[in-house]
Amino acid sequence: MSLQERDKKHLWHPLTQHKSHPNHIAITKAKGAVLYDEDGNEYIDGIASWYTCVYGHCNPYIIEKVTAQMQQLDHVVFTGFTHQPAVELSEKLIKILPENQEKLFFSDNGSTAIDVAIKMALQYHFNNGEKRGKIIALENGFHGDTFGAMSVSGLSVYNGPFEEFFIDVARIPVPNAENLEEVKALFTELITTHKVAAFVYEPLVQGAAAMQMHKAEHINEILKIAQQHQVVTIADEVMTGFGKTGKNFASEYITTKPDIICLSKALSAGMVPMAITSCSQKIYDAFYADDLKKGFFHGHTYSGNPVACSAAIAGIDLLLSDEMQANLQRIEAAHQKFNQEIQQHPKVAATRQQGQIFALDLNIEMERYGNLRDKLFHSFMSKGVCLRPLGNTIYILAPYITSDAQLQKIYQAIRETLDTL
Ligand SMILES: *Cc1c(COP(=O)(O)O)cnc(C)c1O
């Protein structure tokens, strides 16, 4: 029996209605930018497996570092103990994060990185003797599926059963040239009439909202107001981190630096799960006290796992290498050229690009998880390209080592698919 058939007996997949979507493609191996299935088909991973494997699947350098670490130290409790990979990672990561970031707190995935950030912000005010309970978030933001992260996500596609249990969140529209003054006024009003603890946002690109993009100078206006009112700013760089936007972090484009940054996905290069919530000295200092209960009593069993840390260290080494930086520029330029061409296509309503991220909107209305989306997905797969449209948006966020020929194959699959619509 095939893996696809055996899968059906006991497995329950994420974000899936199994009745309408019973089949899952069994991937047996991956190398570089390519996935291989159990029937011998090959697919270029045009979304880097949800923006994780950005240095290529089964990257030999990462495998070498992780293998060496596995033989040295697999895991140790991170409360009361520390180790070389965590120390080395902290030194390397702090060097490339925005300059105000000083401390790193480990967890396991993007959602927990956000939950940690929210708890940090709430306790920051609590420790300073203030009770602030409201969080402000951007409309259509996505921050994950645990309760805190789900609460601040504006993109609650199917969150109906949980909504009444959410933490207290208010939403503001994403600021742009037209609405900036309005959004600033709304934000200021919320802050002055409510006890607002934090503002959480995806800097420059809202990934799950179909790669919606906003300008650094507009979000900066909101961050300035937050700062004036001691509202803790939380940048969710789970998707945008590690080179995706053309710089190591999207926050580098924005003048006002966040108090807290959430990292995951490409952090550990798709090898093993890990997340980090980083923060400024000011946040950390509010927890540093003679009083035991002012400490941050949050922890996950696998916090700071040495193997995951070694994957993250190897990932940063690769990101900063001349070879990878040249790849980033090469792919950005290729996307720009494709953008010029495809925006003329009669089925394309709009296109946008930020660094490695390219997106186009079809001028066809469709449901986020509807039939046309499935048709697009299957069309790409039949052409040997894995792209997962979000609603009527087709986007590319390929591994940085994707070759020119592989990029052309992705573009051609999009052209051919658009022609069939
Ligand atoms: C994927 C994502 C998350 C959630 O991360 P998980 O590891 O899936 O829990 C949070 N924020 C953003 C911006 C993301 O893209």
Per-residue model confidence as pLDDT tens digits over 187-225: 999 999 999 999 999 999 999 999 999 999 999 999 999
Chain centroid offset of residue 279 CA = 18
Rounded percentage of the chain residues whose pLDDT exceeds 90 = 94
Alpha carbon of 351 to those of 250, 343, 357, 359: distances in Å? 20, 6, 11, 6
For a substitution probing ligand 1, which of 107, 152, 239 has the most ligand atoms within 8 Å of its CB?
239
Q: DSSP class of residue 58?
A: T
pLDDT score of 158: 73
With a 6 Å cutoff on the Cβ, whether 90 touches ligand 1 is: no
- pLDDT band, very low/low/confident/very high, at 248 (cuts 50, 70, 90): very high
- Find the 315 Cα to ligand 1 centroid distance in Å: 18
Atom of ligand 1 nearest to the CA of 240: 13
With a 6 Å cutoff on the Cβ, whether 239 touches ligand 1 is: yes
Chain centroid offset of residue 258 CA = 16
Handedness of CA 229, 232, 237, 243 (dihedral sign): positive
With a 6 Å cutoff on the Cβ, whether 109 touches ligand 1 is: yes
Atom of ligand 1 nearest to the CA of 207: 15
**Separation of alpha carbons 93 and 257, rounded Å:** 16
**Separation of alpha carbons 100 and 235, rounded Å:** 13
pLDDT score of 368: 60
- pLDDT band, very low/low/confident/very high, at 364 (cuts 50, 70, 90): confident
- Find the 114 Cα to ligand 1 centroid distance in Å: 9
Ramachandran region, residue 382 (left: φ > 0; alpha: ψ -120 to 50; beta: rest): alpha
With a 6 Å cutoff on the Cβ, whether 142 touches ligand 1 is: yes
pLDDT at 140 over 80: yes
With a 6 Å cutoff on the Cβ, whether 111 touches ligand 1 is: yes
Average pLDDT over every residue of 219-246: 98
- pLDDT band, very low/low/confident/very high, at 160 (cuts 50, 70, 90): confident
pLDDT at 32 over 90: yes
pLDDT score of 367: 64
User: Of 24, 10, 132, whose CA–CA distance to 377 is shortest?
Assistant: 24
- Find the 69 Cα to ligand 1 centroid distance in Å: 26
Which residue CA neighbors atom 10 of ligand 1 most closely? 143
pLDDT at 340 over 90: yes
Atom of ligand 1 nearest to the CA of 264: 7
Q: Which of 86-95, 150-159, 185-194 has the lowest mean pLDDT?
A: 150-159
Average pLDDT over every residue of 82-99: 98
Q: Which residue has the higher pLDDT, 154 or 152?
A: 152
With a 6 Å cutoff on the Cβ, whether 153 touches ligand 1 is: no
Atom of ligand 1 nearest to the CA of 111: 9
- Find the 265 Cα to ligand 1 centroid distance in Å: 7
User: Of 259, 220, 212, whose CA–CA distance to 240 is shortest?
Assistant: 212
Mean pLDDT of the chain: 96
Which residue CA neighbors atom 15 of ligand 1 most closely? 239
Instruction: Convert the pLDDT of each residue in 103-139 to its tens digit.
Output: 999 999 999 999 999 999 999 999 999 999 999 999 9
Q: Which of 154-158, 171-175, 288-292 has the lowest mean pLDDT?
A: 154-158
pLDDT at 402 over 90: yes
- pLDDT band, very low/low/confident/very high, at 157 (cuts 50, 70, 90): low
**Separation of alpha carbons 65 and 357, rounded Å:** 28
pLDDT at 352 over 90: yes
Contacts of 110 (CB under 8 A, 6+ apart): 143, 144, 149, 236, 238, 239, 262, 264, 265, 275
Task: Decide: 219 and 172 in contact? Cβ < 8 Å.
Answer: no
Reduced to 3 states, what is the DSSP secondary structure of residue 349?
Answer: strand
pLDDT score of 373: 86
Which residue CA neighbors atom 11 of ligand 1 most closely? 143
pLDDT at 334 over 90: yes
pLDDT at 82 over 90: yes
Task: Decide: 104 and 70 in contact? Cβ < 8 Å.
Answer: no
Task: Decide: 335 and 353 in contact? Cβ < 8 Å.
Answer: yes
pLDDT score of 369: 61
With a 6 Å cutoff on the Cβ, whether 235 touches ligand 1 is: no
Instruction: Tell me the HSE value of 207 on the side-chain side, using a 13 A CA sphere.
Output: 22
**Separation of alpha carbons 197 and 212, rounded Å:** 26
User: Of 140, 139, 137, whose CA–CA distance to 152 is shortest?
Assistant: 137
- pLDDT band, very low/low/confident/very high, at 156 (cuts 50, 70, 90): low
DSSP string, 80-127: S---HHHHHHHHHHHHHS-TTEEEEEEESSHHHHHHHHHHHHHHHHHH
Q: Which domains does the chain have, with CATH numbers?
A: 3-58+322-420 (3.90.1150.10), 73-320 (3.40.640.10)
Rounded percentage of the chain residues whose pLDDT exceeds 70 = 98
Average pLDDT over every residue of 388-396: 94
For a substitution probing ligand 1, which of 13, 50, 143 has the most ligand atoms within 8 Å of its CB?
143
Contacts of 220 (CB under 8 A, 6+ apart): 254, 255, 256
Q: DSSP class of residue 370?
A: S
Chain centroid offset of residue 277 CA = 13
pLDDT score of 163: 87
Average pLDDT over every residue of 357-375: 83
Average pLDDT over every residue of 134-160: 90
Atom of ligand 1 nearest to the CA of 202: 13
H runs (alpha helix) in 135-271: 147-152, 180-193, 216-228
pLDDT score of 13: 98
- Find the 405 Cα to ligand 1 centroid distance in Å: 30
With a 6 Å cutoff on the Cβ, whether 202 touches ligand 1 is: yes
110 is in an annotated binding site: yes
With a 6 Å cutoff on the Cβ, whether 264 touches ligand 1 is: yes
- Find the 275 Cα to ligand 1 centroid distance in Å: 10
pLDDT score of 159: 79
